[in-house]
Amino acid sequence: MIVALIGGGAQAKYAAEIFRLTDIHVAAVFNLKEDQPPLEWPKAYGVETAYFKDFQAIIQKKNVSHAVICTANIEEKKHLSERIEKSGLTLLSAIHPAARIATTATVASGCIINAGAVIQPFATIGKNTMIHANVIVEHDCKIGEYSNLGPGSQLAGWVQIGDGATVYTGASVIPAIKIGTRSIVGAGAVVTEDVRDTITVVGVPAKPVDAATKEKAF
Ligand SMILES: CC(C)(COP(=O)(O)OP(=O)(O)OC[C@H]1O[C@@H](n2cnc3c(N)ncnc32)[C@H](O)[C@@H]1OP(=O)(O)O)[C@@H](O)C(=O)NCCC(=O)NCCS
C-alpha cells in the first residue's frame, strides 16, 4: 500500500512514525498550503516532501492509493477529505502497532491512533479522529467524527463524544457522559456532567471556562 500524508505538523509526524513500523510505504508528505515550501523533518524518515500544488502529479507518478489527512483544523480536514475522495484516493487510518484495539471495537477511516492507546470492546471511533498516546477509550464509548483525544485522556464506559469535540491532555470523563459537538474539555479536567455543544470546560469537577455561562452549559 502506498500512502500520502497531507499536512506537515505533529499529526503527520505521528503518521510517518507509525507507517515506518509497518509495511505501508509513505510516498510523500505535503504541506497544507499550496505555496508553503516542502518540509525538513520528513527527510529523517527518508520520505519526500512536496508542494501541495504538485499533489495530483506526484500521486499519479508514485501510484499513491491512500491518504491520511494530518491537521487538527476541522474545516481544513473536511475540505481535504472531500478533495481526497474526489481524487480517487481512499482515506486510511494510521494505527500504531502498540495500540490495542478490541476485536469488537470499530475504527472508521482517516484516524490516527498512537502508541499505548487502548480501545475497549464495542467502542466506535468516527472518521478522521485523532487519538494521542496512552488514551483509554472504555467499552461502548461512541467517539464522533473529526474529534481529538489528547495524550493520556481517559473515557469511562458508555461515554459519547460529539463530532469535532476535543478532550485535552490527561482529562477524564466518568461513565455515560455526553460531550457535545465541538466542545472542549481542558487538560486535567474531570467531567462529571454532560457538556452541551460548543462549550469549553476545565477543572475538577469540570466547569465552563466562563462561570457565567455555567447555566447554559450543563
Ligand atoms: C481548555 C483550554 C483550551 C482553555 O483555553 P482558553 O479557552 O483559551 O482559556 P484561557 O487560557 O483563556 O483560560 C481561562 C481560564 O481557565 C483557566 N484554565 C485554562 N485551562 C485550564 C485547565 N486545563 N484547567 C484548569 N483551569 C484552566 C485559566 O487559568 C483561566 O482562569 P482565570 O480566568 O481564573 O484566569 C486550555 O487551557 C487547555 O486545557 N489546553 C490544553 C492543551 C493541550 O492539552 N494540548 C495538547 C495537544 S493534544
Q: How far is ligand 1, taken at its centre, from the CA of residue 186, in Å?
A: 6
Q: How far is ligand 1, taken at its centre, from the CA of residue 184, in Å?
A: 10
The rounded distance, in Å, linking the Cα atoms of 105 and 98 is 16
Indicate which atom in ligand 1 lies nearest the CA of residue 209. 16
Q: Residue 86 has what pLDDT?
A: 86
Question: What is the number of residues in the chain?
Answer: 218
User: Which residue, among 180, 55, 115, has the nearest Cα to 206 in the 3D structure?
Assistant: 180
Please state the rounded mean pLDDT for residues 165-174: 98
- Judged against a pLDDT cut of 90, whether residue 207 lies above it is answered with yes
Q: Residue 173 has what pLDDT?
A: 98
Please state the rounded mean pLDDT for residues 108-129: 98
- Judged against a pLDDT cut of 70, whether residue 218 lies above it is answered with no
| Amino acid occupying residue 67 | A
Rounded to the nearest 5 degrees, what angle is found at the Cα of 151, between the Cα atoms of 120 and 107? Answer: 40
- Of the CATH numbers 3.90.110.10, 3.40.50.300, 3.30.460.20, 2.160.10.10, which one belongs to the domain with range 98-217? 2.160.10.10
The rounded distance, in Å, linking the Cα atoms of 143 and 45 is 31
Residue with CA closest to ligand 1 atom 48: 150
- Phi, psi dihedrals of residue 143, rounded to the nearest 5°: -105, 125
What's the grid cell of residue 72? 487538527
What kind of fold does domain 2-92 have according to CATH? Answer: Rossmann fold (3.40.50)
- Judged against a pLDDT cut of 60, whether residue 213 lies above it is answered with no
Q: Residue 210 has what pLDDT?
A: 73
- Judged against a pLDDT cut of 70, whether residue 215 lies above it is answered with no
Please state the rounded mean pLDDT for residues 13-33: 94
Query: CB of 188 closer than 6 A to ligand 1?
Result: yes
Asked whether this chain's domains 2-92 and 98-217 adopt the same fold, the reply is no
The rounded distance, in Å, linking the Cα atoms of 61 and 209 is 50
pTM of the model: 0.94
> Confidence band (pLDDT; 50, 70, 90) for 212?
very low
H or E element at residue 215: helix 214-217
What's the grid cell of residue 85? 475522495
pLDDT by residue (tens digit) across 37-91? 778 899 999 999 988 888 899 999 999 999 999 999 999 999 999 888 888 999 9
**Under 8 Å between Cβ of 217 and 208:** yes
Query: CB of 187 closer than 6 A to ligand 1?
Result: yes
Q: Residue 211 has what pLDDT?
A: 54
- Judged against a pLDDT cut of 50, whether residue 105 lies above it is answered with yes
Q: How far is ligand 1, taken at its centre, from the CA of residue 133, in Å?
A: 21
Query: CB of 149 closer than 6 A to ligand 1?
Result: no
- Judged against a pLDDT cut of 50, whether residue 171 lies above it is answered with yes
What's the grid cell of residue 205? 469537577
- Computed over every residue of the chain, the mean pLDDT equals 93
Pocket perturbation via mutation, ligand 1, pick of 71, 134, 185, 209 by most ligand atoms within 8 A of CB: 209
Residue with CA closest to ligand 1 atom 36: 186
Burial of 44 (0-12, 13-18, 19+ CB in 10 A): exposed
Burial of 97 (0-12, 13-18, 19+ CB in 10 A): exposed
Classified as helix, coil or strand, 218 is: coil
Q: Residue 38 has what pLDDT?
A: 77
Q: How far is ligand 1, taken at its centre, from the CA of residue 13, in Å?
A: 25
What's the grid cell of residue 156? 469511562
Query: CB of 200 closer than 6 A to ligand 1?
Result: yes
* Reduced 3-state DSSP string for 18-82: HHHCCCCEEEEEECCCCCCCCCCHHHHHCCEEECHHHHHHHHHHCCCCEEEECCCCHHHHHHHHH
Residue with CA closest to ligand 1 atom 2: 186
- Judged against a pLDDT cut of 80, whether residue 148 lies above it is answered with yes
- Phi, psi dihedrals of residue 181, rounded to the nearest 5°: -55, 130
Classified as helix, coil or strand, 10 is: helix
Q: How far is ligand 1, taken at its centre, from the CA of residue 163, in Å?
A: 21
Q: Residue 217 has what pLDDT?
A: 45
Q: Residue 216 has what pLDDT?
A: 46
Domain ranges of the chain: 2-92, 98-217
